[in-house]
Chain A
């Protein structure tokens, strides 16, 4: 059974803290994605990675960075958390190909106070 696991369901952090959100997939997928989900805005792509150590900016990369040291793990880093980064964060992965399904984690709800 396919699995994308995000390390935390809920996180509360203080403004200015460095925050790590972890995502692990067990399907040997090349491509991994980080989205944030906000009411009325849908899912917006922050960063994605198509191979180990490779990354590309999505639509809203400001204030975020990522790390992909191993194929199965994709980390999202908030260098200095701010209240406007309070959101639901979703990780996804998919194998390369023309029309392959993206599998999503259950999401991490981050609150920055």
Chain B
């Protein structure tokens, strides 16, 4: 079945770049997403990439997709303390239709040290 894997924890210093990695198993996934969860809050969509793209950039965020290796990464440039959160990778499997069922990874806790 579909599976999405992430490492659980990443610690960086303020001003450095953060790279959060994700692997997935469903090669027919149509869209891949990054969500952010701040403490005590629900999930908020950060960005997404369509499966026929290799890269997407949005201000400080860069998403890289390697379809051959089924590997997705999120790079946050100039990481700030406000970026401290849990980051979830999610895939939308082919065949999920219009309901948009998502498969989530375990979440990576990003700790930003001043």
Contact = CB atoms under 8 A, between A and B. Distances in A.
Contacts of B99: 31, 48, 50, 56, 96
Contacts of A99: 30-31, 48, 50, 92
Nearest to B92: A99
Interface stretch (A14-22, A38-46, A61-69, A74-82): A38-46
A107 B48 contact: no
Interface residues of A, number: 30
Contacts of B6: 42
B106 A42 contact: yes
Interface in A10-40: 30-31, 33, 35, 37, 40
Given A4-B42, A41-B106, A107-B41, A102 B100 contact: yes
B40 A45 contact: no
B106 A96 contact: no
Given A48-B101, A50-B99, A96-B98, A102 B31 contact: no
Of the four ranges (under 10, 10 to 19, 20 to 34, 35 or more), the interface on chain B belongs to 20 to 34
Contacts of B28: none
Contact of A105 (B42, B104, B105): B42
B107 A90 contact: no
Interface string B91-114: 010000011111111110000000
Contacts of A100: 100
Which of A56, A99, A100, A105 has the most chain B CB atoms inside 10 A of its CB? A99
Given A99-B31, A99-B50, A104 B106 contact: no
Interface of A: 4, 30-31, 33, 35, 37, 40-45, 48, 50, 56, 58, 90, 92, 94, 96-102, 104-107
